[in-house]
Structure 1
Amino acid sequence: MSAEYNVSKELQCAQEGIIITATVSKKLTGAITGHFLIDLYTPILPIILPLLIDTMGLSYFLAGLIVTAFNVVSSITQPFVGLYSDKTGWRASVPLCVSIGSLGICLTVFTNNYLLLLVLVMGAAIGHALFHPSAMDLVYRLSPPTKRGMYNSIFTTSGSISYSIGPFIAGVLIEFAGLPSVVWMVIPGIIGAAWIYRNDLRYLDEKFFEKPAKKVRSQSVERKKFWWVPAGLVVTICSLRAWAYVGLITYLPALLTIEYQGFDTVTTSLIVTVMLFFGVGGQIAGGYFSDLFGRKLMLVLGLLCAVPLFALIFLADGWLMYFGIMMYSFFACFCYVTSVTMTQELLPGNVAFASGLILGLCMGVGGVGAAVIGWAADVMGSLSDAMFLLIIPTILCPILALFVRYPPGK
């Protein structure tokens, strides 16, 4: 009887293990799918900026302000969403976030009113802000501690792949059917949101997110007390990195089509797409190697390699310039996943808040920086000269990374 009971108990445990594994898999699939869909739309903005500059008569500053509006709203909202999530356990709905993000961006092509355009962009930013802290918190909690870098890279890569595809799809549509045709890109977002909702792929299940024991909680509080300063330094580094990276992505299409000339929309969007795919490769490599060789070492290495490659973009022509664009993207993104994981590990009791800081606040700084570069281009009369100023934050990043105090062996 005892043997039968033990066998029955083992079978029950095995079945529960299979159910838990399947549920975890569904939740991760939902987060990854949602990330792929919602990040498909953000890079459309830089592709349509040259057309908006031409058709609406915008200055570089006003054009850059569109990207700034998106990033600032997202950056301000995300840390608060993350903090609220940490305190209450609330998580945003994937389908809702995807629907808001896709509709807000795609409807911008139907208005000639600058203020309405900003409202639509900011609405899309709210969808992004609700999504990212919740999703990153989910991935962190369900990932084995020794493989958090890898799992974070998988999650971020899903969004980065769509972020890379988005410009090319938008460029092809614009080239062959005009600017209003971009609205057709809303279809995958709506269908994807409906599919996720139908399959009930939600973020939060209390079974997997139980409150930590008192002992763990006290250790977490003690660690947070001593690691807020290095976490803040990592956020500062990420903000400077985002300033250079977002600035390059924002104005590269305008630089190639307006200032350098000889580039059509499809060619420009293809260059941006390839550049972003190199960034995807950098994210995968950065997450993997940070697990093997330590996060701080990989952070410093990636940021250091990015400096000469950024300079090459503006000091070289032809294939050397393209090489600089692609490899700068690789190393700028190489340290991105590493910095996300570092901040989460430095603030273990505030994972959603930490994710909101990196994915929100840092990108917001990048968006503000884009407007500053646009203003500088108007004043200097040269977009390329203004963009080259971004080498200053690029150089500061590896210097500051050397001073990050991080747990030994990580």
Structure 2
Amino acid sequence: MMKTTNSSAAIDPKALAQTTVYSILFTISFTHLLNDMMQSVIPAIYPLMKDNFQLSFTEIGLITFTFQVTASLLQPFVGHFTDKTPRPYSLAIGMSFTLAGLISLAFASSFIAILISVSLIGMGSSVFHPESSRVAHLASGGKKGLAQSIFQLGGNAGAAIGPLLAALIVVPYGQFNIIWFAFIAILGIIVLFRVGTWYKGHLISKSKNKTVAVPANHKALSKTKVITSLGILLVLIFSKYFYMASMSSYFTFYLIDKFHVTVQQSQIYLFIFLASVAAGTLLGGALGDRFGRKYIIWISILGAAPFTLLLPYANLFWCGVLSVIIGLIMSSAFSAILVYATELVPGKVGMIAGLFFGFAFGMGGLGSAVLGKLADITSVGYVFKVCAFLPLIGFVTGFLPNIEQTKKAAASA
């Protein structure tokens, strides 16, 4: 699978940049699956932790907030640093933090110990996402939307599988069984070491040809316009991930409270939602490459609004159906947003990926904490009624420039 490693130094960088290295894309997608599978164990065991440690919804929200903040704050700095001085084996090192966090979480005996454990897992994520996004970009061969979608597909699939495995392994048998996920982290370290070897070979090949220029796609856009566009994209990330926080952290509680399903049954509904998110992710990047990222961003945020508004009033069956539709539509946004942002600021893939992954995680963590407090004050059902309006923020997509047209105009000038 990794045969490109040994010969990469002999490949012309220009030819390499035009070749889509699917073996690397699917390998990095697989490690994203492992990474997010392990991370998704955290919200999946919330009902168990809530009972074991007598936690409030506010404390549940603080667990997510701690994880998301440690996962988000470091990402732009990691990305900015590695833009200047790439570190191919940092991916394996980051996964080692996740391994330490999982072992610590399996043995955690207090609320503080839980917070320390999830912060270690968050630190692993802060290294993994910007660097693995860079690897996907390098292996894209110009198909940047497709490459990000393949990469994101792994993460979303892992996020879907994680709660299902937690329902089968951890919830019935207890907290200590989180230790089984540590073996997944060890597998991830091994695979990422191999990816790091390919990455190192790519850098060596690139360094031998200094004539490969950094693309400057959008000189026609002013600095103010670029900054404004990045701000709009971050607002859209806020809308998406605040809503996703309500689903990932509180959907199980909502189903248990309103429909009196068991914890295991609620996890199955969460798995169905997250599986639809994984499916929608792959479509978003490919469609963005073909039809334009602005249109995909618009549809994926604003288009989810009718279904989020219906969800709080649906019965159990339609709640499941609507969650699938919401997952399919809303999940197509992130790959398109990320690639759009990297095209606005070419040559800064690590920093942009770190900024957007970090902001997404931060908004997810803040959303979970705020919504947990709101659930304590009111009810979980009220949380979903409030969050239903968030996708309406998608109307601000109309203020984004059509960068595909800008590229064509620059090329013809």
TM-score class normalised by the smaller sequence: 0.7 to 0.9
Partner of 1:249: 248
Structure 1 residue 388: deviation in Å?
Answer: 2.1
Match of 1:69 among 66, 76, 81: 66
Report SS of the residue matched to 1:172. helix
CA distance in 2, matches of 1:82, 1:350: 8
Letter in 2 for 1:181: N
Structure 2 CA distance for partners of 1:206 and 1:63, relative to 1, 3 Å:
same
| Deviation per residue, 1:77-105 (Å, 9 max, x gap) | 10111111112233453322223224413
| Deviation per residue, 1:350-370 (Å, 9 max, x gap) | 111111122111221121011
Please give the TM-score of this superposition, normalised by the length of structure 1. Answer: 0.87
Structure 1 residue 39: deviation in Å?
Answer: 1.1
Task: Write out aligned runs for 1:139-288 (5 A).
Answer: 139-145=136-142, 147-197=143-193, 201=197, 203-204=199-200, 205-210=202-207, 216=214, 225=223, 226-257=225-256, 259-260=257-258, 262-288=260-286
Task: Write out aligned runs for 1:44-59 (5 A).
Answer: 44-59=41-56
Q: Tell me, yes or no, if the aligned pair for 1:26 and 1:201 is still in contact at 8 Å.
A: no
Structure 2 CA distance for partners of 1:215 and 1:201, relative to 1, 3 Å:
closer
CA distance in 1, matches of 2:16, 2:392: 46
CA distance in 2, matches of 1:316, 1:25: 42
Larger Rg: 1
Structure 2 CA distance for partners of 1:198 and 1:308, relative to 1, 3 Å:
closer
Partner of 2:81: 84
Structure 2 CA distance for partners of 1:55 and 1:150, relative to 1, 3 Å:
same
Partner of 1:370: 368
Answer with 290-299 or 218-227: which moved more: 218-227
CA distance in 1, matches of 2:218, 2:98: 34
CA distance in 2, matches of 1:142, 1:223: 27
CA distance in 2, matches of 1:167, 1:308: 27
| Deviation per residue, 1:19-53 (Å, 9 max, x gap) | 96999566445423321221111111111111222
1:113 aligns with 2:107: no
Q: Tell me, yes or no, if the aligned pair for 1:85 and 1:91 is still in contact at 8 Å.
A: no
Structure 1 residue 207: deviation in Å?
Answer: 3.3
CA distance in 2, matches of 1:128, 1:405: 31
Percent of aligned pairs with the same residue?
A: 24
1:399 aligns with 2:395: yes
Letter in 1 for 2:226: W
Q: Tell me, yes or no, if the aligned pair for 2:50 and 2:60 is still in contact at 8 Å.
A: yes
Please give the TM-score of this superposition, normalised by the length of structure 2. Answer: 0.87
Match of 1:98 among 95, 99, 108: 95
Q: Tell me, yes or no, if the aligned pair for 2:284 and 2:335 is still in contact at 8 Å.
A: yes
Letter in 1 for 2:228: V
Task: Write out aligned runs for 1:257-406 (5 A).
Answer: 257=256, 259-260=257-258, 262-380=260-378, 382-396=379-393, 398-406=394-402
Letter in 1 for 2:135: L
Partner of 1:137: 134
Report SS of the residue matched to 1:33. helix
Structure 1 residue 137: deviation in Å?
Answer: 1.4
Structure 1 gaps, min length 5: 1-11
Q: Tell me, yes or no, if the aligned pair for 1:37 and 1:188 is still in contact at 8 Å.
A: yes
CA distance in 1, matches of 2:260, 2:132: 41
Q: Tell me, yes or no, if the aligned pair for 1:224 and 1:346 is still in contact at 8 Å.
A: no
Answer with 233-242 or 82-91: which moved more: 82-91
CA distance in 1, matches of 2:94, 2:329: 30
Q: Tell me, yes or no, if the aligned pair for 1:230 and 1:406 is still in contact at 8 Å.
A: no
| Deviation per residue, 1:259-296 (Å, 9 max, x gap) | 22532232122111111110111111111111111110
CA distance in 2, matches of 1:347, 1:198: 29
Structure 1 residue 251: deviation in Å?
Answer: 0.8
Structure 1 residue 400: deviation in Å?
Answer: 1.2
Letter in 1 for 2:163: P
Structure 2 CA distance for partners of 1:54 and 1:312, relative to 1, 3 Å:
same
Structure 2 gaps, min length 5: 1-6, 408-413
Structure 1 residue 181: deviation in Å?
Answer: 1.6
Q: Tell me, yes or no, if the aligned pair for 1:93 and 1:203 is still in contact at 8 Å.
A: no
Partner of 1:38: 35
Structure 1 residue 342: deviation in Å?
Answer: 0.8
Structure 1 residue 164: deviation in Å?
Answer: 1.0
Aligned Cα root-mean-square deviation (Å)? 2.9
